[in-house]
Amino acid sequence: MQPEYLPFPALLCSVLSISRQHYEVTLDPGRALLSWRKLRPRSVKGRTRAGICLTRVLHRARGLAKSFSRQITSGSVTVPLTEIVSVEEAEIDGKYCNSMKWQHMCKPHAFTVRYIKRMKKHRWRCGEVTFWCSEEQMCCHWLQALNDALNQQTHRPKHLLVYINPYGGCKKGKQIYEKKVAPLFSAAGIAADVVVTEYANHARDNLYDVNLEKYDGIVCVGGDGMFSEVLHGLIGRVQKDSHIDHNNPSACLSRCSIRIGIVPAGSTDCVCYATVGINDPVTSALHIILGDCQPLDVCSIHHKKNFLKYSVSLLGYGFYGDVLKGSENNRWLGPARYDFSGFKTFLTHHWYEGTVSFQPAKWVIGSPRDNKPCTSGCHVCRQSSKQLQELQKEQNCRFEHSEEEWTTIKGKFMAINAVSLSCACPRSPKGLSPAAHLADGSADLILVRKCSRLNFLRHLIRHTSKKDQFEFPFVEVYRVKNFQFTPKHFEEYDTESTDIGNVSKKNFAQICTDHPSCVCSHVNSSWNCDGETLDQTAIEMRVHCRLIHLFARGIEDAPLTDDSNPSKILPME
């Protein structure tokens, strides 16, 4: 008997077996759903042909639903076609055949569907179900129909370029990729060209030479530093190809259409955590396979007319700059180097003087303290970026630098942090700015003024709790499109020279000789830019709305998890 195809939207419906139980299995391309519902054994008994243990019933959808409506028991599962990971002919394993008494069949016909199962805390796992058909033709029909449905999802990657940092985090990048990610890619029919990096900036440099047209995406296995490397390679390459000078702080940068996937294997993994909701390699691999797409704001950092770096996570001066500096000699501690250095930095309790100037992001519809975090398909991001686009059209992509719009704050700061996403990570599950948005074209500028050690601790502790970390008189937060920072000694000794860095170093040395009591290392801090120290302290930063795209979808709203919802658990699992 042939499965019956209805005219568009064609619906395929059969009774197939899962672990010797009969199921009504429906593929509804119109609604893009695959579902299976358990049938009572006695109801299908009469239809079972001796020796085959299978019944094939083909009905029009309505008719079938009607005739089986009383036979349907619990254990119904519906999977959107967009969440099917792979479909393949099942491999029949000997043990299974024996135990299931299939041995008398010459060739059982079965296919396996892998699909997304949502677990707690945004973790995804791969569910697997094998459907047994009575004959080859039916199996082929199902395989064909499911593969056709998957092939229609043209946003899924087919060919990826993978960079692995073997030394990131706990040095398990290679192992994580080989054991957890590669098998999923290969099941999903994704071809991957793998480069295990041999030195820092290997991936970045390689991206300038590689033929990007061959690939549907780039994957980096490592931490925020490794992601930053890939980001620099890709953005740099695209600007080079489009003849855009990245040294011009006002340049309108070309967007990168090729997506980047992050398989977390680093120390902080905050870009992954803040865009996926968890730092879990399997979850990331599944988002890549499904071809998710999340636009992301990127900040460019300049010192006068010199490009320094891009940043997507934390650009931090003072506390986080010092934490990074202090951690550099303790790399051998792995991820714990930040905790150790954080503790030491907290005890030293330094503050730094300087001037911060910024322009607010007028187009955004959110604010840093509105308690509305960025979620999957975020309305705030969509609306804000639309308004920015309209504004830019009016201004022909020029940035307003009109003096009256700048707010200037001079002071003594414990920390100056600029984040264009929440910076949520395992150490701080809500992040440095819990309501920052991934793709609204703005960054949150957090100023922590000089305060007592106890107060600073109170502020820090709030990063780990649900309480508002900005609710202190010494903390200010602004949603900005750009900012500039000049440390105090720079202001005093700055000249009109173009080579500011050299002049300042010379002058700085002068100050220290003149004032032997001065502890130079405490006069200025340094900038932590996504885990790398910047050479300059006087910088300007600007946000580029949606400059890159990730294989992610943002953080899903209170997900209905498969492990918290028993009705969705497969009976055979």
Ligand X SMILES: Nc1ncnc2c1ncn2[C@@H]1O[C@H](COP(=O)(O)OP(=O)(O)O)[C@@H](O)[C@H]1O
Ligand Y SMILES: CCCCCCCCCCCCC/C=C/[C@@H](O)[C@H](COP(=O)(O)O)NC(C)=O
**297 contacts which partner out of Ca ion, ligand X, ligand Y, none, CB within 5 to 8 A by kind?**
Ca ion
198 binds ligand X (CB under 6 A): yes
Q: For the chain, what is the largest distance between any 2 Cα atoms, rounded to a whole number of angstroms?
A: 100
Residue nearest ligand Y, CB atom distance: 531
Q: Which of 61, 150, 194, 460 binds ligand Y (CB under 6 A)?
A: 460
Q: How many residues bind ligand Y (CB under 6 A)?
A: 25
- Tokens 């010797």, residue located: 20
Q: Do residues 442 and 378 touch, judged by C-beta distance below 8 A?
A: no
Residues in the chain: 573
Interaction residues for ligand Y, span 371-430 (CB under 6 A): 423, 425, 427-428
From residue 225 to residue 244, the character string flagging contacts with ligand Y as x (rule: CB under 6 A) and all else as - is x-------------------
Identify the three-state secondary structure at position 28: strand
User: What distance in Å separates the CA atoms of residue 432 and residue 423, rounded to the nearest whole number?
Assistant: 6
Q: How many residues bind Ca ion (CB under 5 A)?
A: 5
**277 contacts which partner out of Ca ion, ligand Y, ligand X, none, CB within 5 to 8 A by kind?**
none
Closest distance between ligand X and the C-beta of residue 57, in Å? 54
Reference 484, options 362, 304, 308, 358; nearest CA is 358
Of the pair 5, 208, the CB lying nearest ligand X is at 208
**93 contacts which partner out of ligand X, Ca ion, ligand Y, none, CB within 5 to 8 A by kind?**
none
Identify the three-state secondary structure at position 116: strand
318 binds ligand Y (CB under 6 A): no
Identify the three-state secondary structure at position 244: coil
User: What distance in Å separates the CA atoms of residue 64 and residue 59, rounded to the nearest whole number?
Assistant: 5
Of the pair 198, 213, the CB lying nearest ligand X is at 198
Rounded to the nearest 10 degrees, the angle between the axes of helix 336-348 and helix 453-461 is 150
User: What distance in Å separates the CA atoms of residue 442 and residue 419, rounded to the nearest whole number?
Assistant: 9
Residue type, 78: T
Closest distance between ligand Y and the C-beta of residue 171, in Å? 13
Interaction residues for Ca ion, span 431-490 (CB under 5 A): 437, 440, 442
User: What distance in Å separates the CA atoms of residue 288 and residue 293, rounded to the nearest whole number?
Assistant: 9
Q: Which of 26, 313, 385, 420 binds Ca ion (CB under 5 A)?
A: 420
Task: Give 542's contacts (C-beta < 8 A, 6+ positions apart).
Answer: 249, 250, 299, 300, 302, 399, 481, 482
Q: Which of 28, 224, 297, 562 binds ligand X (CB under 6 A)?
A: 224
User: What distance in Å separates the CA atoms of residue 498 and residue 305, rounded to the nearest whole number?
Assistant: 9
Interaction residues for ligand Y, span 105-164 (CB under 6 A): none
Q: Do residues 423 and 274 touch, judged by C-beta distance below 8 A?
A: yes
314 binds ligand Y (CB under 6 A): yes
**437 contacts which partner out of ligand X, ligand Y, Ca ion, none, CB within 5 to 8 A by kind?**
Ca ion
Q: Which of 28, 280, 297, 540 binds Ca ion (CB under 5 A)?
A: 297
Q: Do residues 3 and 58 touch, judged by C-beta distance below 8 A?
A: yes
Interaction residues for ligand Y, span 265-294 (CB under 6 A): 266-270
- Tokens 């680093």, residue located: 266
224 counts as catalytic:
yes
**313 contacts which partner out of Ca ion, ligand X, ligand Y, none, CB within 5 to 8 A by kind?**
ligand Y
Cis ω for the linkage preceding 426 (within 30 of 0): no
311 binds Ca ion (CB under 5 A): no
- Out of 216, 224, 269, 297, the active site residue is 224
Encode burial over 240-270: b for 16+ CB neighbours within 10 A, e otherwise: eeeeeebeebebebbbbebbbbbbbbbbbbb
Q: Which of 421, 432, 447, 534 binds ligand Y (CB under 6 A)?
A: 432
From residue 148 to residue 177, the character string flagging contacts with ligand X as x (rule: CB under 6 A) and all else as - is -----------------xxxxx--------
Residues that bind ligand X in the complex, under the rule CB under 6 A: 165-169, 197-202, 222-226, 229, 266-268, 531
Residue numbers annotated as active site: 224
Residues that bind ligand Y in the complex, under the rule CB under 6 A: 223-225, 266-270, 313-314, 320, 324, 338, 423, 425, 427-428, 432, 460-461, 463-464, 528, 530-531
